[in-house]
Amino acid sequence: MTTAVMSRVLLVPGRYLMYRVLGYLLLLLSLVQLLGMLVAIYYHESIFWVFLTCAVLGAVVGYTLIYLGRGASDLKSRQLFLLTTLSWLMMCFFAALPIWWIVPDCSFTDAWFEAVSAVTTTGSTVLSGLDQMPKGLLFWRALLNWIGGIGIIVMAIAILPALKIGGMRLFKTESSDTSEKILPRSSSMSAAIGMVYLVLSALTMLSYYLAGMTGFDAISHGMTTVATGGFANYDASFGQFKDTPLIFWLSSFFMMAAAMPFVLFVSVVKGNRLALWRDPQVRAFMAIVLVAALTLTFYQVQQQNRPWFDALTHSLFNVVSIITTCGYASEDYTLWGNLAVMLFFYLTFAGACSGSTSGGLKIFRIQLAAMLLVKQMKLLIHPRAVWDQRYGGKKVDDQLLGTVLAFCFIYFATIAFIAMALSFYQLDLVTAVTGAATAVANVGPGLGNIIGPAGNFSSLPDGAKWWLSLGMLMGRLEILTLLILFTPSYWRY
């Protein structure tokens, strides 16, 4: 950001409230870093001082921002774009510092990439030798995934609908003046969603532990599963647990649960037992998972003579992992055949449900785009006809369909642009295209020998890592939240 633009940022009305929000977020991150310190102390690792130093540094900067923001001010809705972007950038920067200082020969570029991947719950990694990494660092990566997961839910529920981005108005809560109030106040809704997130995380951790994981692995993988972040403690990802099929089934179940709208879980607890089933995107999500998993199972049994239960276990796990944008891998699924490679490439774009921890395009946008296509086909036959379009019981007007279509365009245009930028660094077609797609969709692994499920992103040039980091942030912030800051008209008024 240039000096001129930064000066405009400091003059934005409502800057005092921005300072306070950023300061409190940084204080919260500093407290979380103390957890990493405690884990390092428990395992007698000398890196505990790194977390302590970073926590103190973050606290000093955080208190300074709070002091600067002591003046009274109001925040306009359009300023949410700036506040949201600055919050994520600040969190990523301070999250990268422990990684930068702990990992030997780690450049800041690699530390930034790892932190962005963690906070955005993408799950791409530049680190190798995870099996021998300090426990404190592994816990920090998992914790960043977990924090990013709840942050994504809050943003999707409270902020994005107010910004009217890509059809998100369909998912307004009472904080956005919805008529269907589940709880009386938005603060109660946030608390209820937080409680669901905590309970789901605890159940995942307990299930993993009872299935055979160590306590540390159960806690770490429990956090990254519910956050659909995909960071694992081993280079082999979930292939480390290949001798325990039960773990794959448990992980598939909890990844799917985390990829469903958390608001609907609250609704179920409040007495609406069929809330999940009645949601059109949940039904579509379940159908896609079922069809894709059974297709790959049949394909492996027929083409590779693989035992059906083993084929079903790994097919379901990897399909769920990719479509939920978690990014775990039980094995190198690119070796299953061309059908598997093509299917996983398609699933990379899909994503799961809105209001969940998953990334991607989201199922509801695909459904609305299909609704628009059907309408256009009908208009070719009956040009003067008028239809009452509804989605999940809510009326869908042409303006909302237009925003969805515009978002889909900018989504794929962003992937194409980043893929073009990656090709500048002499990356092959598969690596460039799937790398851009997995970054914007926040999935994790791409395809090919370099960034596929059996590889990582460490060998990519630094410039490519910065482009991919930008793609991860754009994908997590629904693209327009970040893109609008680069338009002159945003800063003009």
pLDDT tens digit sequence for 441-451 = 999 898 988 99
The pTM of this model reads: 0.89
How many Å separate Cα 137 from the centre of its chain? 20
pLDDT tens digit sequence for 100-135 = 999 998 999 999 999 999 999 998 999 999 999 999
* Distance set, CA 455 to CA 29, 431, 444 (Å): 30, 11, 11
- Judged against a pLDDT cut of 60, whether residue 4 lies above it is answered with no
Half-sphere exposure of 29 (CA within 13 A, CB side): 33
Residue 363 near residue 352, CB atoms below 8 Å:
yes
The dihedral built from the CA positions of residue 313, 318, 324 and 327, taken in this order, carries a sign that is: positive
Percent of the chain with pLDDT over 70: 89
How many of the other CB atoms lie within 10 Å of CB of 107? 13
The angle at the Cα of 280, spanning 276 to 284, to the nearest 5 degrees, equals 100
Residue type, 369: A
Q: What are phi and psi of 107, to 5 degrees?
A: -75, 165
Token pair belonging to 356:
């969940």
Residue type, 447: L
Residue 288 near residue 256, CB atoms below 8 Å:
no
Instruction: Please give the Cα distance from 11 to 3 (Å, whole number).
Output: 13
**What average pLDDT does range 88-102 have in this prediction?**
94
* Distance set, CA 439 to CA 178, 204, 349, 426 (Å): 32, 26, 10, 18
pLDDT tens digit sequence for 227-261 = 999 899 999 999 999 999 999 999 999 999 999 99
- Please name the residue ranges forming H helices in 155-244: 160-163, 186-211, 215-226
Question: CA Rg, the chain, in Å?
Answer: 22
pLDDT tens digit sequence for 205-232 = 999 999 999 999 999 999 999 999 989 9
The dihedral built from the CA positions of residue 276, 227, 436 and 404, taken in this order, carries a sign that is: positive
How many of the other CB atoms lie within 10 Å of CB of 76? 10
Of 34, 96, 154, 27, give the one whose Cα is nearest residue 19: 27
pLDDT tens digit sequence for 345-368 = 999 988 888 888 898 888 988 888
Mean pLDDT for all residues in the chain: 87
Angle separating helix axes 462-476 and 398-423, nearest 10 degrees: 170
